[in-house]
Amino acid sequence: MNEELREQVRERYAGAALTVLGGDPEDNAMLEEDCTACLPLEPGLGEQLYDALERADLPNEAVLASLGCGNPTAVAELREGETVLDLGSGGGIDVLLSAKRVGPTGTVYGIDMTEEMLDLARGNAEQVGATNVEFRKGLIEDVPLPDASADVIISNCVINLSTDKPVVMHEMFRVLRPGGRLGLSDVVAEDRLGLAERAMRGSYVGCIAGALSFGEYRQELEAAGFTNISITPTHEMADGIHGAIVRATKPA
């Protein structure tokens, strides 16, 4: 079942990348309509969660491929020279924004399981001349980076799509250096909602059915070893389902 769900997610995001690469305005409009389950129900889609000045410096393909529920680069407090890991980097919007923040002495890795998204992201990086970024194919449950190799991990509406979230939490802890931190945007359910109630509000590939509750999210982060955990809702996406900012620290 887990493999079936993962393949559904992969196919969905591969299709999204191909739609953007195709550049057909009608297809892009259909993509935005299809992805509203992953985005705020208030006016605006993924690209509108980013400041206009940020979007202006990015390739249009990176902006169109933004299917997230937040803007993790705005909350991760990135600093010059840091090494950043973006889990589920998609078309590369958060990698490219992070690359500007960490500067030429920093490095940003983007991990994605979808070849089509990786092709899109690499093309976007080439367009803006980003030389401090690297995109690698891999699963967020099995990150292709060594232990203690990142200062910061970001992610945008991706962890809710994982079919094995405890493993993701332990992988994030493994890859972070001591004192490293998380700055995530994700979809989180109110504790009152059981699994069946979450599924009634949206599909798994639509970022709803697979969302952890606030309590479950905290519990999984604590079990992996994280401290200083905060999970702050930012907007309601469906009844009892919220976009949220997740912060945590690996003890020094």
b/e map of 233-244 (b: 16 or more CB within 10 Å)?
ebeebbebbbbb
Q: For residue 113, which of 85, 95, 87 has the smallest C-alpha distance? A: 87
Domain of residue 219: give its range: 2-249
- Looking up residue 139, the CATH number of its domain turns out to be 3.40.50.150
| pLDDT tens, N- to C-terminus, the chain (252 residues) | 577 767 776 677 666 656 666 654 444 444 443 444 343 333 323 444 555 445 556 555 544 445 556 677 777 889 999 999 999 998 888 899 899 899 999 999 999 998 888 988 999 899 889 999 999 999 999 999 999 999 999 998 899 989 999 999 999 999 999 999 999 999 999 999 999 999 998 888 778 888 999 999 999 999 999 999 999 998 888 899 999 999 999 999
φ/ψ region of 58 (left if φ > 0, alpha if ψ in -120 to 50, else beta) reads: beta
* pTM metric for this prediction: 0.82
d(CA 193, CA 202): 13
In terms of DSSP bridges, do strands 150-156 and 133-137 run parallel, antiparallel, or are they unpaired?
Answer: unpaired
**Total structural domains within the chain:** 1
d(CA 22, CA 125): 18
Q: For residue 130, which of 103, 91, 90 has the smallest C-alpha distance? A: 103
